[in-house]
Chain A
Amino acid sequence: MAQFSSRIWREFPQRYRLEASKFKKSGKTYYPPRDIDPTNGDTENEIVRLPDTGKVVTYTVIRVAPSQWGDQSPYALAVVEPTDGTRVMVQMTDCDVEEVKIGMEVRLEFRRIQTEAHSGVLSYGHKAVPKWF
């Protein structure tokens, strides 16, 4: 149980604030953030925050979900490209799986991601919702 608390805590910057690492030489941004650019070994980077709007690049529909997401199935997991060109994998919410389309515009919204059983910690982060404003 304690594993869950400490693991999500280490990831708060990326989960809560969509923090990513932008590398100096290649100009590439990675989410979740990396210490080393895998294309050239560069370590010089700065932390940037991803834009909160983007497009669905691809997606898959989960119909048989892990237990903590069982009540939400079917749902889509999507690779979303925020407007800066980075890619993030997020759960889609506030829409039926039939509505999800490649290229659809989405907004990344702060949501509850999972709960640790009945009485454990709550884990927060971002999900993608259809962009309508």
Chain B
Amino acid sequence: MAGIVGYGAHIPRHRIKVEEIAKVWGADAPSYKKGLMLREKSVPPPDMDTITLSVEAARRALIRAQNVDPKDIGAVYIGSESHPYAVKPSGTTVAEAIGATPDIHCADFEFACKAGSEAMFVALSHVDAGHMKYALGIAADTSQGAPSDALEFSAAAGAAAFIMGKENLIAECLDQFSYMNDVPDFWRREHEFYPQHAGRFTGEEAYFATTRGASNALLKKSGLKPSDFKYAIFHQPNGKFPQRVSRELGFTQEQIDPGWLAPRLGNTYSGASPIGLSATLDVSEPGDLIFMCSYGSGAGSDAFIWKVTDRINEVRDLTVRTHKLIDENLIYVDYGTYAKYRHKIKKNN
């Protein structure tokens, strides 16, 4: 089957700590940190959005893809719930910036937090079907959480990009399974600025049931068991959910560690499990099997099995590693700066 020939991530340097948000709203920081298993989250500065994050991640994917001519990329698909325009595609700007226009197909995907894996799935499918030589699937978000809402502690920003192809793979997709059902757990109506969620209903009946549904089905379909995998990545709306679901499915903490980013990155929405995959590929070795399962409210999961090839040793350090972007050279902002950056302050035009 087709697979990944190049991957890359981009994450803002800015962070805000749970304590900084909690003190503004009179919330108890230790209980939020424990409850969400989250210390801080990334904050996009005002000159960064889904398009700019996507361009930088895509450029890194092109570096790791080595000899891929952008003109040979047949599609750019971007999954996000924070496309900068309501009407005007993100994909054309990204395709233009990487030099892949005009012989290309672009589409912007939306499916709450699952839009990114969806873009990856469609890119992979086109390549696998022989419609095009390469296709680029990007997962990017600069998510908003309503002030004082639990989501404000987690809604973060980041992107990961994957160039799919059939030759010179870094990781082959061995198998895939998707699982969808209508669950009204999280939504944003048109013209609303902040999303809303159904509180505790977002857990068992939504995230856990859907993630288990896709994961168990893919394990059964592939005939593999959790212990066959070196690593596993799950959608991470907080630190706790992926940890619990991975345990329930039979994966260990060691397996999820490299891609378990929410505790220090927050929930990058569409970017969450794809950035986790990027971080995991960075530390993987040839032959490793990687299990990945996204989740998007509404609700659905895309699950993938990736098998890492020898090429990983050649490409992983051609550009910056994902963990370096998460852990180094951070700029901490206070709530006022964060509120300004995220356009939470009313101003006259």
A94-B13 in contact given A71-B340, A117-B349, A124-B97 (Cβ < 8 Å): yes
Given the known A-B contacts A110-B56, A111-B52, are A72 and B46 also in contact in the complex, defined by CB atoms under 8 Å? yes
Contact B349 A112 (CB under 8 A): no
Q: Contact at A71–B329, with CB atoms within 8 Å?
A: no
What is the CA–CA distance of A122 and B46 in the complex, to the nearest angstrom? 12
- Interface positions of A (Cβ within 8 A of B): 12, 16-17, 71-72, 93-94, 109-113, 117-118, 121-122, 124, 127, 132-133
Q: How far is the CA of A117 from the CA of B11 in the complex (A)?
A: 27
Q: Is the interface of A mostly helix, strand, loop or mixed?
A: mixed
Closest-CB distance, A56 to chain B (whole angstroms)? 18
Distance in angstroms between the alpha carbons of A109 and B44 in the assembled complex: 14
Flag whether B174 is at the interface (Cβ < 8 A). Answer: no
Q: Known: A17-B97, A133-B320. Contact between A94 and B45, CB under 8 A?
A: yes
* Cβ proximity bits B31-55 to A, threshold 8 Å, 1 near / 0 not: 0000000000000011111011001
Complex alpha-carbon distance, A71 and B59, angstroms: 29
- A to B CB contacts below 8 Å, 10 in the list: A17-B96, A71-B340, A72-B46, A93-B47, A110-B55, A112-B46, A112-B84, A124-B52, A133-B324, A133-B329
Number of interface residues of B (CB under 8 A): 26
Known: A16-B93, A112-B47. 9 other contacts (CB 8 A): A71-B46, A94-B13, A110-B55, A110-B59, A112-B52, A113-B47, A117-B349, A124-B52, A133-B328
Q: Taking each of B48, B49, B98, B328, which has the highest tally of chain A beta carbons within 10 Å of its own beta carbon?
A: B48
CA distance A55 to B48 in the complex (A): 22
Chain A CB within 8 A of B184 CB = no
A109-B56, A112-B48 known; A16 vs B84 contact (CB < 8 Å): no
Query: In the bound complex, how far is the Cα of B88 from the Cα of A121, in angstroms?
Result: 10
User: Chain A contacts of B85 at CB under 8 A?
Assistant: 122
As a 0/1 sequence over residues 312 to 330 of chain B, the CB contacts with chain A under 8 angstroms (1 = contact) are: 0000000010001000110
Task: Evaluate whether A132 and B328 lie within 8 angstroms (CB atoms) in the complex, with A110-B56, A111-B48 already known.
Answer: yes
Q: Is B331 an interface residue when CB atoms closer than 8 A count as contact? A: yes
Q: Within the assembled complex, what's the spacing in Å between the Cα atoms of A12 and B324?
A: 31
Closest Cβ–Cβ distance, residue A8 to chain B (whole Å): 11
Which residue of chain B lies nearest to A93 when distances are taken between CB atoms in the complex?
A: B47
B99 interface contact, C-beta 8 A: yes
Closest 4 A-B residue pairs measured CB to CB?
A110-B55, A111-B47, A16-B97, A112-B47
Contact of A127 among B47, B55, B97, B99 (CB under 8 A): B47
Partner of B96, one of A16, A71, A93, A121: A16
In the complex, what's the smallest C-beta–C-beta distance from B161 to chain A, in angstroms? 13
Cβ proximity bits B75-103 to A, threshold 8 Å, 1 near / 0 not: 00000000011001000010011110000
**Do B49 and A112 touch (CB < 8 A)?**
yes
Residues of A near B84 (CB, < 8 A) are: 112, 122
In the complex, A113 Cα to B51 Cα: how many Å?
12
By a CB distance below 8 angstroms, the chain A residues around B56 are 109-110
Which B residues are in CB contact (< 8 Å) with A124?
51-52, 55, 93, 97
Which residues from chain A contact B329 at a C-beta distance below 8 Å? 132-133
Q: Are B47 and A17 in contact (CB under 8 A)?
A: no
A71 / chain B contacts, CB cutoff of 8 Å: 46, 340
> How far does the alpha carbon of A79 sit from the alpha carbon of B98 in the complex, in Å?
24
Chain B residue numbers with a CB within 8 Å of A117 are: 349
Question: Which residue of chain B is the closest to A121 with respect to CB atoms?
Answer: B88
Please name all residues of chain A whose beta carbon is closer than 8 Å to the beta carbon of B13 when the two chains form the complex: 94
- B47 → A minimal CB distance (Å): 4
For residue B348, give the distance in angstroms from its CB to the closest CB of chain A: 10
Measured CB to CB, the closest approach of chain B to A121, in angstroms, equals 8
